[in-house]
Chain A
């Protein structure tokens, strides 16, 4: 199991706007379909973990990837929101994120 360590080299910091890549490829992917292509912001940096996309096939999971807690407005994900401040929070690896405005 990968363990969190400090991540001085993380590409994003809390508050940064990010867009989830819309990739449609085979393999074991932890980024749920419903969040691909959506824009949100970094809520928290979880740390660096072995890459599950590699571990899933019996490989070593290296290099480690930075995992973030990313927040999205409910309305931006589902098109509507029960309350204006409702959020969707998803754990997403750095290689699935692009900077956004």
Chain B
């Protein structure tokens, strides 16, 4: 097993902690809102979201930004709980891309 990709505390090559404030994009605020709404409805717990991130492919995890990981975990949990299917999500995504272009 050894340590997970999320558990980097104390690693010599973990890098410095980014402490500067930055402006959130609209989609990041929306990701937070979706997360809060799902929590309020008892659909997911923070611990489940964390576990979903920990179980991701390590390369994908490292390549994603903070809120991208949130979205990916929400997707995993919603599919796991049979609230949405991967097909439904992909189909909707294709519709958005057609309407708005590639993200």
Q: Which residues of A contact B (CB under 8 A)?
A: 1, 24-26, 28, 32-34, 52, 55-58, 77-78
Q: Does B3 contact A (CB under 8 A)?
A: yes
> Is A32 in contact with B7, judged by CB distance below 8 angstroms?
yes
Query: Size range of the interface on B?
Result: 10 to 19
Mark each residue of chain B from 65 to 103: 1 if its CB lies under 8 Å from any CB of chain A, else 0. Answer: 000000000000000110000000000000000000000
Q: What number of residue pairs across chains A and B have CB atoms under 8 A from each other? A: 38
> Which residue of A is nearest B52, CB measured?
A56
Smallest Cβ-Cβ distance to B10: which chain A residue: A34
Known: A55-B48, A57-B48, A58-B48. A32 touches B9 (CB 8 A): yes
Q: 27 interchain pairs (CB within 8 A)?
A: A1-B45, A24-B1, A24-B2, A25-B1, A28-B47, A28-B50, A28-B51, A28-B54, A32-B7, A32-B9, A32-B10, A33-B3, A33-B4, A33-B7, A52-B47, A52-B50, A55-B45, A55-B47, A56-B47, A56-B50, A56-B51, A57-B48, A57-B51, A58-B45, A58-B48, A58-B81, A78-B10
Binding site secondary structure of chain B: loop
Bound form: Cα–Cα A34–B1 in Å: 15
Q: Which residues of A contact B3 (CB under 8 A)?
A: 33
Contact with A along B5-20 (1 / 0, CB 8 A): 0010110000000000
Contact residues in B for A34 (Cβ distance below 8 Å)? 9-10
Chain B residues, Cβ within 8 Å of A78: 10
Q: Give the nearest-CB partner of A53 in chain B.
A: B47
Q: For B51, what are the chain A residues with a Cβ–Cβ distance below 8 Å?
A: 28, 56-57
> Which of chain B's residues have a CB closer than 8 A to the CB of A55?
45, 47-48
In whole angstroms, what is the CA distance A1 to B42 when docked?
Answer: 10
